[in-house]
Each structure stands twice: as C-alpha cells, then as structure tokens.
Structure 1
Amino acid sequence: MITQRQISILNAIVEDYVELGQPIGSTTLIKRHNVKVSPATIRNEMKLLEENHLIEKTHSSSGRIPSEAGFRLYVDQLLEHEDVEEHPNKLNLNTLFSENHYDISTTLNRLAQLFSDQTHYTTIVVGPDHTKAAIINVHLMKINDKHLIVVLIYQTGHVKHLHLSSTITVDDTTVIKLSNFISNNLDTFLNNGKYQIDAYRLMDFNDHEVAILLQVYFLIKDHLDSETSRIYLGGKHQLIERLNESTVTSIQPILKYVESGKITQLIDQISDAPIHISIGSEIDQNLEGIAIVTRPYALANQIEGHIAIVGPTAMRYQNVIQLLSQTR
C-alpha cells in the first residue's frame, strides 16, 4: 500500500523530471521542494516506490525517473481532482466556427494550430465522419464540354467537390437540366440511381443524359464508400524536432500512425471520457514513450469529433488538461 508521503514524492519526481528532463535524486527533491525530512528518508521512500515499479533507476545516474505506471498514477490523480479555474480567454468553438465563416476545414485546421501553439505539442483534430452525415444537396458545375464538378453539400455544412471527366460532350443546357433533376430528386437518386434507367427515359432523358446521370451516381457512391474521418494536424514539427537517437523508436511509430490515418481509429478507441489520457503501451505496444490526451468536441449542426494532444510521456499534463477543459 502506497502512503500519502510516497505519492507526494512520486508527484515531485514526475514534475521535476518533466521540467528538467533528467533523472531526479533525493538532493534535487529536497532543494526544489523544501522537504522537511532527511535525505535518508527520501532515499528509503524512493526505494519503496521503485519496488512498487512506480519509478525506475537509470544506468547513467543515481537518480530515478517515473515509470509508465508512475505516470499513470500521477495523471489519475490529476483527473480525479481536476479543478479548472475560469479563464477570460476561454476558447469557444462555435465562435471560432463563426469567425471562419462556418467552414469546417478552416475551423479545424485553425483549432489544431491553436492547441499546438499553446501546448507546444503536436495536436490532432479528428473531423466529423461525413459518411454518417446526410447529403442535403448536389450541384453540377461545368468546367468544359467533357469535365464537370459534382458539388456535394452535407448537413454538417461540409462541401466536397468531385471531378467527373467523361467522353460524352455536355452542353450548358444539359448541365442545368441534370443538376436540377438531381437536386429535386436527391433521395431517390442517391439511393436508387443506378436502377432508374427506364424511368429516366420516360422522363425525357436521352441516352447521353442517362449515361451522365449514371456516371454522377457512381462517382458519388465511390466517394462515399471510401471517405473516412479527416485529420487536421497542428505542430507535426513538434514531434519531428524531438527525434534523436534516444527517441526515434518511440516517435517514429506515432508519426506512422498519423500519416497512415490509423490515428482516427486509435483516438476513437481511447476517447470515452470527457478528458482521457493514454500512456505508452496503453496505446500500443510499439508506442512506448508517447502519451495522448484527448477530449471530444461538438460544433453546431451535429459536427462532432475529437481533439488529441500528442507528446512524450513526460508531458506537462496539468497545462494540457487545463487547456482542454477551457474549451467549450
């Protein structure tokens, strides 16, 4: 059973290690925290913490560093006793959304950069999964006689442009006719478009127009089948700058996760709580030395996703938790 004094010493070791980036000894603890016990008592308590696998001895120093279990106990205390002070600069996500003219991509890119600038860690904002959002309108725009842009407008406000190149020549009148038809019959077109060939002909569409309608239908279907949640990244350089001989094995895997898009699945799996912290092997056996602090967010029009702060296990957790908690 760990005592309150041992918890206090563990907390001091974690905070000093985060601040100094080097193993912490009894002398450092006494000087930095004005501890009213003898160095021998501190060393004995540190030995007990080590036996409980909460701190570890390094080969290069007589000091100790927090273990993954030590960081876990430390952050659990922070989350359990979270006390967020009101701050005049509280970040209102809907205000940010409005300031960026209700453009989702711009807003979430800006959000990722804001968090990265303030935490000095890499920030990942997972955008809404548009496969779960309804398409409320489709427009066709002509670029030239054989190239159209298919504009999808989602219920979330997200707008997607798909390019359609065809061997069939399309004039302006046809584009207007087809665009109006799709807009006025959107649900039927999206759900049963490929089965409506005879119906199209009965509605006075010629064979060329029917062919264009089918091409638009399959273009949209292929897009919906392949689309996933989008990732908005801020401060990727924060991870890259930490790459060195001692960190390469821990940072390279998280970079691969980010670049492959697997990070969206990872964040979805670990983000059940209002603020959730995952450390090292809790995330993945190949991600030792990395911590991810996440929280869900919500904007207008049912736009939902997650914010994730990615950094070393020796992260300034208090600052990150405070910042995430100030976001509404």
Structure 2
Amino acid sequence: MALDDRKLDVLRAIVEDYVATQEPVGSKALVERHHLRVSPATVRNDMAVLEEEGYIRQPHTSAGRVPTDRGYRLFVDRLSRVKPMSQAERRAIERFMLGAVDLDDVVHRTVRLLAQLTRQVAVVQYPSLSRSRVRHLELVPLSTTRLMLVMIADTGRVDQRLVELPDTLPADDVADLRRQINEKLAGCRLTDTPPLVEALLDEVTPTLRPAMTALSTVLLETLVERKEERIALAGTANLARGPMDFQGTLRPILEALEEEVVLLKLFGEVEPSSMRVLIGDENEIEDLRATSVVSTGYGPGTIVVGGMGVLGPTRMDYPGTIAAVRAVARYVGDLLAQG
C-alpha cells in the first residue's frame, strides 16, 4: 500500500523525534511539536497504518512508537533532506585538515574529524594500491653503487626503497634510467606495471642492463607485491553513548570492528560519488545488524581510491551524517588532487 503525504509526514516526524530524544513517540507529542494541522485521533489512525505496514513498532514498555529498519529505509530514500553543511562546519573541516604533512596524516586527521562531526564510529580506508597510479619515480644516487628509489603515487602515497647496484653507475646513466622508467610507467596503474617493467629490461642499452635488472626487482616489490589494504578507525567509544540503542552487549559489534576484512567489505567497495546507506538487517554481517553504515568513495576528481564513512546505531541522524561524510570525502578528494 502506498503511503499518502500525511502519513509520510507522520513517519518523518516520528523518526526525527526518536533520533533526537531516544524516547518512543506518542501522537499527542507529534501534533504539538510538528504542527501537523490534524487531530491526535487522525495521527493515531495514521500511526496504526504505519505500524501495520511495518514502518514503526510499539516497544512493549511504552504507548509511543519507534521506527523500524523499514521505516528508517523509507526515511532515507524518500523523506530525508540532506542538511547542507554550514559555513562554520566547512571552515572547521578546512582548519582541521590544514597542515596535513603526508598521506598518513591526511587519513588520521580525516578519521578523527568524521568521528567528531558525526559522533559515530568513523572508518577510512587508505588509498587502495589496486586503484593507484604512478605519478613519478625518482632515482636518488646515494653513492656510485647505491640508489634510493622513490615512488610517488597519484593518491599521495610515497614509497622509498634502496637499490644495491652490481657496479658503479655514472650520474648521466642514472638520469637516463630515470627518464626511461618514467616514460614507461608514469600514469600507469600499479597493478598494470609488471609487463612494462619486464619490457624495460629488453629496451635499455646493454651497458644499463645490469643496473636495470637490480632496479626492476625493487620496482616490482614497490609497485606490485605490497598487497595489504589498511584501515583507520576512530570513535568506537561513541557506540556507548546511547545505552538503549543496542539490545544486549556491544561486544559482537566491537569484535566485528576489529576485523579488517569486515571493514573493507563495508567501506571499501563504494562507487564513485555515491552514498551508500545500509540500515540494520540490510547488513549481511550478522553481528552488525543493530547498526547502520553510511559510506562513500573518495579520491582525486572522479577517481575513487578508497572508501570512508561511519557506523552507528540505526537511531542515527541520517541527513546530518550523510552531509558530513559527503563533505569530508569531497574535501579529501580535493586535497589529493592538489597533491
């Protein structure tokens, strides 16, 4: 049965009141607080329909109603108007992120900022290697037989490796190698580089081949073989803010949050510029079915290099949370684009 606008307004009011007060919502309070311009009896009838359709339920201890997962879903899909971030909030984001010195710093500032803005558990995936591209490769001579290879990715990731050469290498030859590896690899996805590194071995002049052989081993280790994906987490203490939000114990939720595989599944598989909201039972991870997850991808321009978002109780300020996650993701994407 399709709900008419008045019943949708009643549902919106119930969700907003319950999120704000954590108290089951009664018809009299709704009429007084939300100027619904109908009698409490009409609101009670609307609530009865909403309950019958599975959008709200009555906890056994109270005459008021609370939203169900299905009610929150309809609220997010049809009713919630994403709150624009205020100028003060935008300035706070800029101030907090200003002065980040490297990628690690950006990730740690981002996850702390998200936890503070939303008062939920915040999760940020480090830029994924599989989505990164080579921006530049630098060769720094440390001695005539030793080089420092510096790989800079478009995600701001910087890797440094020592290369021990089999023989001395003049500065002109180092410059020649630097030019050739950048011509071949700059702009390529890290995961696409192995055949290109192999091709470099065949293409360099015979005099450079011994040095290129030593360099190619370190290049492959730097570009490809480090498969680990990393996650930063902040604000787990926020879960304890609403004792009524989680029936029973927090332990299963906390244990699930310790599993990187679980977090990567929740936050690392997000489409570019889209918000994903998983509510309660929509979560395929059983231990997290008392929670909701709001997540999005981030990266420079239209490229997504990782995911970020928050996890909290289903009784969540969805419009505010969606706005905060979107604004922070956009800001971090702009930071990476400038890098």
* Class of the TM-score when normalised by the shorter of the 2 chains: 0.7 to 0.9
What SS is found at the alignment partner of 2:225?
helix
- Looking at structure 2, the residues matched to 221 and 77 of structure 1 have their Cα atoms a distance apart, in angstroms, of 45
Q: Distance in 2 between matches of 1:47 and 1:200?
A: 78
Residue 21 (1) aligns with residue 25 (2): no
TM-superposed deviation, 1:65: 1.5
Residues 1:325 and 1:205: Cα distance change in structure 2 (over 3 Å): closer
Give the equivalent residue in structure 1 for 2:58.
Answer: 57
Q: Which amino acid aligns with 2:178?
A: S
Distance 1:302 1:2, change over 3 A: closer
TM-score, normalising length: structure 1: 0.73
Q: How far off is 1:312 after superposition?
A: 1.2
Judge conservation of contact 1:150–1:163 (CA < 8 Å) in 2.
yes
Residue 78 of structure 2 corresponds to residue 70 of structure 1: no
- How far is the alpha carbon of 1:314 from its aligned partner? 0.6
Which residue of 203, 210, 220 maps to 2:207?
203
Is 1:279 the counterpart of 2:276? The answer is no
Question: Which residue number corresponds to residue 307 of structure 1?
Answer: 308
1:114 aligns with 2:113: yes
Q: 1:292 to 1:176 in 2, by over 3 A?
A: farther
Deviations 1:216-275 (A, max 9, x none): 245336534x144x433332332366686625377346514xx31443343354546643
Q: Distance in 1 between matches of 2:155 and 2:289?
A: 37
Q: Residue 41 of structure 1: CA displacement?
A: 3.5
CA deviations 1:171-214 (Å, max 9, x no partner) are 996798997675344248954656888999942777xx788546
Q: Where does structure 2 lack aligned partners over 5 or more consecutive residues?
A: 186-192, 331-339
Listed as ranges, the matches of 1:125-144 within 5 Å are: 125-135=124-134, 136-139=136-139
Q: Residue 294 of structure 1 contacts residue 307 of structure 1 at CA under 8 Å; is this kept in 2?
A: yes
Deviation at 1:282, TM superposition (A): 2.3
Report how many aligned residue pairs link the two structures.
314
CA drift at 1:46: 1.7
Task: Quickly say closer, same or farther: Cα 1:50–1:148, change in 2 above 3 A.
Answer: farther
Distance 1:301 1:83 in 2: 23
SS in 1 for 2:155: coil
Change (3 A) 1:311 1:55: same
How far the C-alpha of 1:56 sits from its partner, in A, is 1.4
The one-letter code sitting in structure 2 at the alignment partner of 1:14 is V
Mapped partners of 2:302, 2:6: distance in 1: 49
| Partner of residue 231, structure 1 | 231
User: After superposition, where does 1:43-54 map in structure 2 within 5 Å?
Assistant: 43-54=44-55
- Residue aligning to 1:219: 221
State how far apart, in whole Å, the 2-side matches of 1:175 and 1:61 are. Answer: 83
Equivalent-residue separation in structure 1 for 2:92 and 2:18 (angstroms): 33
Structure 2 letter corresponding to 1:56: R
- For residue 288 of structure 1, what is the aligned residue in structure 2? 289
- Structure 2: distance between partners of 1:294 and 1:32: 32
The SS at the match of 2:7 is helix
- CA separation of 1:8 and 1:253: change in aligned 2, threshold 3 A: farther
One-letter amino acid matched to 1:59: H
Distance 1:280 1:4 in 2: 25
What is the SS of the residue equivalent to 2:112? Answer: helix
Q: Please list, as runs of the form range in 1=range in 2, the aligned pairs for 1:165-204 lying within 5 A after superposition.
A: 183-186=178-181, 187=184, 191=195, 202-203=206-207
Q: Residues of 2 paired with 1:116 and 1:283: CA distance? A: 21
* Offset at residue 49 of structure 1 (A): 0.9
Q: Could you tell me how far apart the structure 2 residues matched to 1:204 and 1:10 are?
A: 72
| Counterpart AA for 1:219 | E
Q: Does the Cα contact within 8 Å between 1:250 and 1:288 map onto a contact in 2?
A: no
1:159 paired residue number: 158
2:260 alignment counterpart: 260
d(CA) in 1 for partners of 2:302, 2:3: 48
